[in-house]
Amino acid sequence: MTQEELFKVLVAHCKEYGFIFPSSEIYDGLAAVYDYGQMGVELKNNIKSYWWNAMTRLNENIVGIDSCIFMHPRIWEASGHVAAFNDPLIDNKDSKKRYRADVLIEDFLGKIEEKIEKEVAKGRKKFGENFDEEQFRATNPNVQRELKKYNEVHEAYKAAENANDLAAYKQIIVDNNIVCPISGTCNWTDVRQFNLMFKTSMGSTDDTANTIYLRPETAQGIFVNYLNVQKTGRMKLPFGIAQIGKAFRNEIVARQFIFRMREFEQMEMQFFIKPGTELQWFAKWKENRMKWHVNLGMGAENYRFHDHEKLAHYANAATDVEFKFPFGFKELEGIHSRTNFDLGNHQKYSGKKIQYFDPESGESYTPYVVETSIGVDRMVLAVLSHSYKEEQLENGESRVVLSIPAPLAPVKAAVLPLLKNNEELTNLAQKIMDDLKYDFNCQYDEKDSIGKRYRRQDAIGTPFCITVDHESLEDNCVTVRDRDTMEQQRVPIAEIRALIDKKVNLNNLLRNL
Ligand code: GAP
C-alpha cells in the first residue's frame, strides 16, 4: 500500500471507529472542519493532559490560563495580524479553483525531489552492492539536471518570499509551467494577498456593531493577560503561561484531513524572560519539546527540526518540529523567539505600561518571549497515522491495530465475559468493570465471539482485553490479553488494576521527561 492509499484508509478508519467525522456530514459536510467522535475526544483529551501536565505541573514557574476567543479588535492590529496575516492566493481561470501560490511552488519542488529519489532508487537497483550513492548523485545526468532545476526554482522562490513579491510568485509558476491539478492549464490570475482571519460583528444592532475577529492564535490571549498573571501570581522572570484553546483561520488550501483545518485547537506556552537570554531559552525549549515528543515512543527518527530561513515579523529565531506524516515530513509544532514584539506593541496600542520590575538588577523592562506552539489536531493525526497498522497473523488471519502509546489510548481496558447468556460470568465481568471504571476509561462488551471483540478493541487501540471465563468463577483469575504482543496471561482479579496502571498511567510518561 502506498502512503497515499494508507492515508485514505486511515481517514476511513477514523470515521468507522468514532474518532473523527466530517463536520455537518448530513448536509454534505463543511470544508476543512471536522468533529471528534467518542474515541477521538478521549484521545484528544489525553494528548492535552500530557501537554498540560508536562507544562504546568513539571515546571513550577509555568501556570495556565483560559482566555476568550473574542478579544478587542485592536489586539489584532497590535499583533500585526490585520496587516500581515496573509497568504498569497492565485486562481485558475479555467477550473475557477483557488490555490496558495507558495503551496503550488512547494508541491512542484516536492515533485522534483521525488524524481531525484526515483533516479537514485533505480541506480541502487541496477548497481546493487557496488552502488556509491554520493558519486551517483554527483554524476548522473538525470539527477544533475533535476537538481539544477530544483536549485533555480528554490532560489527564486526564497527571493520572492523574502521580498513578499507577488508578481515574482506568478512568474515562477508561469516559467515552470505549473498547472492547475483540476483543469491542467496554466491560465492563472495574478497573485493577491488574502487575510486569514475570520470576521464577525459584536453588538445589538448593525449600526452599533463592531467588527471583531475569531482569534487566529491563542497566544495573544496570553500576552494581554501577562500583567494580570504576573501580578496576581507574584511571578518572577523567567516564567511561562500556558493555554489550550480553539483558533480559527480561513485557510485557502485546506486539505490533508485534520492537518490543516479552518477551526482547530492549539496548545501554546509563552515563556517570559530577560532580554538578551532569549537564544539560550530558545535552545532549551527546542530540547524540551523534542524530548516531550520522543518520550511517546513513536520513533526519534520520525521527528526533525526545520529552522526557518524567513523569520516572521515578530521573531529573531524560529524552528518547526516536523513529524513524518504519511504525506512526508511536515510541521507539527513551532518554537519561536518572539522578542518583545507583542508586549511592546500591546503597550503602545493600549497605552498601558507593560513592564517587569527586576528586583535583582533594579531595572524595569519589557520581557522577551520564547513561544512553543503545537496544534492538538496535528498531534492527533501524528499519533493516529503512526499507530495504524495492518498485520498478517500467524494463523493466516489479519488484523487492524492502532498501537497508540498506551497512556494516550481512548479506552484503556475492555472487560469481556466469555458468554453473553451466562449470568454468573456477566455479573462478575460487570463487577470488574464497576471496580476499574474509577481509574480507567473501560468498555464492557459481551456481543459476538471473543475473537471479534478482540478485533474491535485492536481497531480502537485498547491496550488490554480482560476475559472472564468459567475458570474465573473458581480461581478468581482472568485472562488478560496485551494489544501489541497479543500474548495472554492469567492474572488474579485483585492484581488487574496494578497491571493496567503500570502501562497506561500518564505519570509514568511524565516521570521520564
Ligand atoms: N502562536 C504562533 C502560531 O500560531 P503557527 O506556526 O501559525 O504559530 C502553530 O501555528 C501550530 O498550530 C502549528 O505548528 C500547527 O501545529 C498548528 N496549526 C496552525 N494552523 C493550523 C491549521 N490550519 N490546522 C491545524 N493546525 C494548525
Kindly state the DSSP code that residue 216 receives in the 8-state scheme.
S
Kindly state the average pLDDT of the residues 473-481: 97
> Residue 111 pLDDT more than 80?
yes
Task: Name the residue of 79, 250, 266, 371 to mutate for ligand 1: max ligand atoms within 8 A of Cβ.
Answer: 266
Instruction: Give me the numbers of helices (H) and strands (E) for the chain, helices first please.
Output: 18, 23
Burial of 206 (0-12, 13-18, 19+ CB in 10 A): exposed
Closest ligand 1 atom, residue 251 Cα: 23
Query: CA 92, 96, 97, 100 torsion: positive or negative?
Result: positive
Task: Name the residue of 194, 251, 378 to mutate for ligand 1: max ligand atoms within 8 A of Cβ.
Answer: 378
User: H or E segment at 268?
Assistant: strand 263-273
CA–CA separation, 11 vs 5, rounded Å?
Answer: 10
251 lines ligand 1 (CB under 6 A): yes
222 lines ligand 1 (CB under 6 A): no
Query: CA 105, 107, 109, 112 torsion: positive or negative?
Result: negative
Query: What mean pLDDT value characterizes the chain?
Result: 95
385 lines ligand 1 (CB under 6 A): no
For residue 114, give the 3-state DSSP assignment.
Answer: helix
- The confidence score (pLDDT) of residue 2 equals 80
For residue 416, give the 3-state DSSP assignment.
Answer: strand
Q: Give DSSP secondary structure letters for 189-212.
A: ---EEEE---EEEESSSGGG-EEE
- The confidence score (pLDDT) of residue 1 equals 75
Kindly state the DSSP code that residue 405 receives in the 8-state scheme.
-
pLDDT range class, residue 5, cuts 50, 70, 90: confident
CA–CA separation, 130 vs 205, rounded Å?
Answer: 77
289 lines ligand 1 (CB under 6 A): no
For residue 95, give the 3-state DSSP assignment.
Answer: coil
What are the chain's domains? 1-71+196-390 (3.30.930.10), 86-193 (no CATH), 393-511 (3.40.50.800)
342 lines ligand 1 (CB under 6 A): no
Instruction: List for the chain the helix, strand, coil content (%; round to 5).
Output: 45, 25, 30
* pLDDT tens-digit readout, 358-385: 999 999 999 999 999 999 999 999 999 9
* pLDDT tens-digit readout, 146-166: 999 999 999 999 999 888 899
CA–CA separation, 225 vs 239, rounded Å?
Answer: 13
Cα atoms found within 13 Å of the Cα of residue 137, Cβ hemisphere only: 9
Closest ligand 1 atom, residue 261 Cα: 24
261 lines ligand 1 (CB under 6 A): yes
* Cα 73 to ligand 1 centre (Å): 21
Nearest CA to ligand 1 atom 4: 217
CA–CA separation, 474 vs 194, rounded Å?
Answer: 70
- The confidence score (pLDDT) of residue 312 equals 77
106 lines ligand 1 (CB under 6 A): no
* Cα 375 to ligand 1 centre (Å): 5
Closest ligand 1 atom, residue 218 Cα: 1
pLDDT range class, residue 207, cuts 50, 70, 90: low
- The confidence score (pLDDT) of residue 76 equals 96
pLDDT range class, residue 394, cuts 50, 70, 90: confident
- The confidence score (pLDDT) of residue 478 equals 98
Range 5-44 burial, b when 16+ CB lie within 10 A, else e: eebeebbebbbebbbbebbeeeeeeeebebebbebbebbb
263 lines ligand 1 (CB under 6 A): no
> Residue 57 pLDDT more than 90?
yes
| Three cell numbers, residue 45 | 483529551
For 394-398, which contacts have Cβ atoms below 8 Å and span 24 or more sequence positions? none
Nearest CA to ligand 1 atom 19: 375
87 lines ligand 1 (CB under 6 A): no
Kindly state the average pLDDT of the residues 322-344: 95
User: H or E segment at 318?
Assistant: strand 317-325
Range 473-495 burial, b when 16+ CB lie within 10 A, else e: eeeebbbbbebeeeeeeebebee
* pLDDT tens-digit readout, 294-325: 999 999 999 999 998 778 777 899 999 999 99
CA–CA separation, 381 vs 389, rounded Å?
Answer: 14
243 lines ligand 1 (CB under 6 A): no
> Residue 253 pLDDT more than 80?
no
Note whether 335 and 289 are within 8 A (CB). Answer: yes
Task: Name the residue of 100, 250, 331, 369 to mutate for ligand 1: max ligand atoms within 8 A of Cβ.
Answer: 331
- The confidence score (pLDDT) of residue 463 equals 98
* pLDDT tens-digit readout, 256-298: 899 999 999 999 999 999 999 999 999 999 999 999 999 999 9
Q: Which of 97, 102, 217 is nearest to 164 (CA)?
A: 102
A 10 A CB-CB count for 200 gives: 11
> Residue 208 pLDDT more than 70?
no
Bridge partners, residue 368, by sequence? 273
CA–CA separation, 361 vs 277, rounded Å?
Answer: 15
CA–CA separation, 211 vs 73, rounded Å?
Answer: 7
Percent of all residues in the chain with a pLDDT value above 90, rounded to a whole number: 88
| Three cell numbers, residue 99 | 490555490
Cα angle 368, 304, 319; round to 5? 25
- The confidence score (pLDDT) of residue 162 equals 83
User: H or E segment at 443?
Assistant: strand 442-444
- The confidence score (pLDDT) of residue 205 equals 67
| Three cell numbers, residue 152 | 533555480
| Three cell numbers, residue 212 | 471583531
Query: Cα–Cα distances in Å, from 241 out to 178, 280, 357, 415?
Result: 44, 19, 18, 40
- The confidence score (pLDDT) of residue 206 equals 64
- The confidence score (pLDDT) of residue 84 equals 87
Q: Look at the chain and count its residues.
A: 513
Nearest CA to ligand 1 atom 26: 375
CA–CA separation, 40 vs 237, rounded Å?
Answer: 37
Note whether 221 and 245 are within 8 A (CB). Answer: yes
Kindly state the average pLDDT of the residues 50-72: 97
260 lines ligand 1 (CB under 6 A): yes
Query: Cα–Cα distances in Å, from 390 out to 1, 183, 202, 460?
Result: 10, 36, 50, 13
264 lines ligand 1 (CB under 6 A): yes
Q: What phi and psi, each to the nearest 5 degrees, are found at residue 424? A: -60, -45
369 lines ligand 1 (CB under 6 A): no
Bridge partners, residue 384, by sequence? none
The alpha carbon of residue 207 and the mean position of all alpha carbons in its chain are separated, in whole angstroms, by 40
Query: Cα–Cα distances in Å, from 114 out to 6, 107, 121, 291?
Result: 18, 10, 10, 30
375 lines ligand 1 (CB under 6 A): yes
Nearest CA to ligand 1 atom 14: 333
Nearest CA to ligand 1 atom 17: 375
Task: Name the residue of 290, 337, 373 to mutate for ligand 1: max ligand atoms within 8 A of Cβ.
Answer: 373
- The confidence score (pLDDT) of residue 4 equals 81
* pLDDT tens-digit readout, 74-97: 999 999 999 989 989 999 999 999
Does the N-terminal peptide bond of residue 407 adopt cis geometry, omega within 30 degrees of 0?
no
Q: State pTM to two decimals.
A: 0.90
268 lines ligand 1 (CB under 6 A): yes
